[in-house]
Amino acid sequence: MNSARRAFADALAANDVVIEVMDARLPGASGNPMIEELRRFRNRPCLKLLNKADLADPQVTRAWMEYFNAQPGVLAVAVSAHQSGDVRRIPALARQLAPHRVGAEKPLRMILAGIPNVGKSTLMNALLKRRVAKVGDEPAVTKGQQTLDLGSGMTLTDTPGLMWPKIEHDADGFMLAASHAIGRNAVIDEEVAANLGLILLARYPALVAVRYGIGVAGLDGQGLLECVARRRGCMRKGGGLDLEKAANVFLTDYRTGMLGRISLETPESRQRMLAAVAEGERI
């Protein structure tokens, strides 16, 4: 991580605009504080792309855009890397943040950054209209930096997914793991799925009930996993529920949008969580 941080800092010095890709379902948890720290140090404006907006709750996404757009030097938009119309808007939006960078002598130099598996490579390929970056539904697919010419006096530097050294809040870790920004070897799927279940039971109980054909009143995360196991036939040989398999079913349904359009946090819920953490630290 230290070498990745240094490489990003060096590349940032040679670029004009940071394009940070975030997961629209969890913009607070998927925003890398190191990227924010470094771009502020270099006084670089930031285009925040709330990617996978087609999977997120649109009302919550609008709230996040208002939240970010109130910050100095920031422009936030909701996009889906799979929608060509969304992708075509990105260069013009970046130009708004550095209008002085125009023409062959002053090309607009952009750097694409974000945590693993938020869709940076998909966006890169869509912008270039050709496959230049490996894409996969796993963290750490992009391995190194590359700078490419977008034409019209613009360049784009792609960077590997950049995580910070320590995830401070357990809630962030669970949300990131549920959204596949953290590899499976670092987490226990059952714990991640049970935590996701608690969030969805609180925020989207009707979507859960419809997807699995169950009553959700009185359920907790573990109870929801047991219901999913029964409804999806996740059984161990010799009997008993296969909760690991049920967790994978549940997580896949969330990740692919089969549960519906879901956001795991709002600006208000994030502020409440941070305030509770700070209060706990003072106590």
Residues 6+ apart with CB under 8 A from 80: 51, 52, 53, 54, 86
* Distances, alpha carbon 142 to alpha carbons 3, 139, 147, 214, in Å: 15, 9, 13, 40
Same domain, 32 and 144: yes
pLDDT value at position 99?
Answer: 92
Please tell me the total count of domains within the chain.
2
CATH label of the domain that carries residue 38:
3.40.50.300
Cα gap 245→255, rounded to integer Å? 15
Q: Is residue 262 part of a domain?
A: yes
CATH label of the domain that carries residue 207:
1.10.1580.10
pLDDT tens over the chain, length 283 residues: 677 788 889 999 999 999 999 999 999 999 999 999 999 999 999 999 999 999 999 999 999 999 999 999 999 999 999 999 999 999 999 999 999 988 778 899 999 999 988 998 889 888 888 777 555 544 444 456 788 888 888 999 988 878 877 888 999 999 999 999 887 776 899 999 999 999 999 999 999 999 999 999 999 999 999 999 999 999 998 889 999 999 999 999 999 999 999 999 999 999 999 999 888 765 3
Q: Is residue 163 part of a domain?
A: no
pTM: 0.90
Q: Tell me the residue range of the domain where 45 lies.
A: 2-158
**pLDDT tens digit string along 147-166?**
888 888 899 998 887 887 78
The last residue of a domain, from among 108, 133, 158 = 158
